[in-house]
Structures are given as structure tokens and as C-alpha cells.
Amino acid sequence: MKVLMHRHRVLCERAVDPLEIAAGLEAHGVTDRAAVRFRHRDVFSLAEELYARVPREAGPRPEPAPAPRVRADWVLLTLLPGAVCAAVVTGVRLTEGRPRLLVAVAGVLAVALAVRPALRRGPLAPARALAWRTATGARVWTCWLLAYALFGNGLLRTVADGGPDGLPTGAAYGPWPVTVAPVLALTLACAPAAWSAHLLTAAARRRLAGSRGLEEFTAAVQPLLLGVFVLFLSALTALLALCGAALGEPAGCPEALALGALLLLARLLTVHHVTQGPAQALAAAAAAEAAAMALVLAGRLPGCAFLAVPVDALVDAWGAGSVPAVVCGVAALALLIRATRTLTRASAHAPTGDPE
């Protein structure tokens, strides 16, 4: 016990309550089974003894961090990307020629600026200490995936048919079709994504306060995580149907749902201090989409037609949207498995001190 106290003295001295020590011990690999060696039934009981035995500085003991509350500022910020994107889509639909191009370019910048504060405040914001490590790579690959959702399916179908013969016109049924409905739905889904993250964090911290063992906490949080995930996908499905009907375009549900699931899980893992995995999954999905396009183009070279056979077969059987659906679906499944292992741990929900 003395060795354990010495090894984790800083953690114990700075802890607000035993729950923070329990989360820290778990993050360092101390499990309920390891706690038995110290004659305790679980890590929570061991944390209580460490909290009682390690002295802290004199003065009033701070209160445990409360569960995050709903705040008007982050609610409004998560609604902003969808509102800006809807305005941009309307402007593109009402213009032609060079004005349409200018509106589209300005609109992309406006949407990017609207998404930035939504991901920096509230439930979708990572801890400040982690933000600089994960932001750049994740942003690049996310932009690629969204650009592919907008242009990729039409380009892949056109390339498979021997094109393209010109630049996209912004129409859903032009020579290079552009699918706006999935991207609009994904920007509108920033709001349900934030609510899903808020529900997960708030409920997990309540479970943490009432749990008496790590296994008990994991068993309580696993269905909560899956429920929040399904809730977000249900909201995204409704938004896809609404946007598809409003714009008169195919909703692109399978590929948009797979991309939405991938982006949500990557953000949840980043928010809860998991730095390894989200950016890599996004990069792998982006690379696979680029590889599919490259294989179709390489199949045009003399003697290289066999390179395009797998992609052509997939496109002929299920359509161009099957490529991002499979790619993003596999990446999302990998992140979901990782999330069920990491986001159900007490250490993932320890308060960071950052504002919600």
C-alpha cells in the first residue's frame, strides 16, 4: 500500500474526491482484480482508502465537478453550421454561372467558419490539452470525406462511364452530379451530435458517482453508449430524408449514415481523451476512397483494366454510393468497437476542468 501511495501521490493529493482517484488508477492499469491484492474488493474501495490516507493541503475541500449542464451558447453554436449551409445551398440554387461559383466558394468558407466554434465550445469540444494534438490531421481528413460526399459519388460514376467531360455544374443530375443533400444533413446533424455527446457525458458521470466497482460502471455505460449512438443515427436518418425531399435529390442514406457515424465516434473518442485511433480511422477512410478513384482511372491504362474490376463490380451492383458506404462503415465499426472498450471506462469520464 505504501508503494502504491508513493507512486500515485500527486494524483491523490490533487484529487477532488475518491472518484477522481479511482478514474486515475484505472487509467494507470489498476483494475478490480489488482485491487484485491491490496485487500480491497474493487478500485473504488481502494481509492477511498488512498483518499483518506494521503494528506492534502489545508483549506476547504472543493466540491466534486457537477454533471455538465445545457448552455444556450453551445446550443446556438451547434445550430449555426446547418443554418449557414442551408443559406448557401439556397444561394447556389438561385444563381447561375460565375455568381453561382462565387456563392459556392464563399459558402464553403462560411460553413467552415460556422463549424469551428461549434466544435470548440460545448459537448463536442475536446480538452484544451488535447486539441492541438488532434485538430490538424482530423480536420484535413474530415474535409476530404465531406468533399467526397459532395462530389465523389458523381465523379466516380462519371469516371466509370468514361468521363468526366467537364466541371460540375452544381446540379444533382448534370454531367458530373453533385450530391448536396447528404452534406446539408450532416451539417444540420451538428446539433443532435452535440446533444448525444452531452447525454453520454452527463449520464456517465451520474453512473460514476453511483457505481461501486469498475465492472458495474462498464455494464451501466455500455448500453448508454449504444443508445446514444442509435439516437444520433435516427436523427441523421430523419434529416437525410428531409433534405432529400426538400432538394429533390437522392438522400444517399447508406453512405451518409456511415460517414455520420464515423465522424460522431471520432469526435466522441477525441472529446473523452482518446488520442490514438480517431484521426487514423478518418485517414484510412479517406485513403480508401482515393484509392478506389485511382483504381478506376488506372484501369484505363493499356493492360491495366483488371485494376478497376473490384470497384466497377461494386459500383455496378450497388451504385457509386456503395464505395463510401463500405469504406466509412468499416472505419466506423472499428471506432465503435474501440469506443465500447474505452468510453465505458471510468477514466474516460473524469472531469478535465474545461468548461462544457
Is the pTM of the predicted complex or chain greater than 0.85?
no
Q: What is the pLDDT of residues 43-52, one digit of tens each?
A: 666 666 666 6
Give the model's confidence band at 59: pLDDT under 50 very low, under 70 low, under 90 confident, else very high.
Answer: very low
Q: For position 162, what pLDDT does the model report?
A: 72
The average confidence (pLDDT) of the chain is 80
pLDDT at position 354 is 43
Q: Give every CB contact of residue 224 below 8 A, 6+ residues apart in sequence.
A: 200, 203, 204, 207
pLDDT tens digits for 261-320? 999 999 999 888 777 788 899 999 999 999 998 888 888 888 888 888 888 888 888 888
Characterize 206-215 residue by residue with b for buried, 16 or more Cβ atoms within 10 angstroms of its Cβ, and e for exposed: ebbeebebbe
Q: Binning pLDDT at 50, 70 and 90, where does residue 335 land?
A: very high
Quote the pLDDT of residue 132: 46
Please provide the DSSP assignment of 28-64 as one string. TT--HHHHHTTT-SSHHHHHHHHHHHS---SSPPPPP
- Inform me whether the pLDDT recorded for 253 exceeds 60: yes
Q: Is the pLDDT of residue 194 over 50?
A: yes
- More reliable by pLDDT, 292 or 37: 292
Helix spans in the chain (H): 2-7, 9-14, 18-27, 32-36, 43-53, 72-93, 97-118, 128-147, 153-160, 181-188, 190-210, 214-247, 253-271, 278-298, 309-318, 322-342
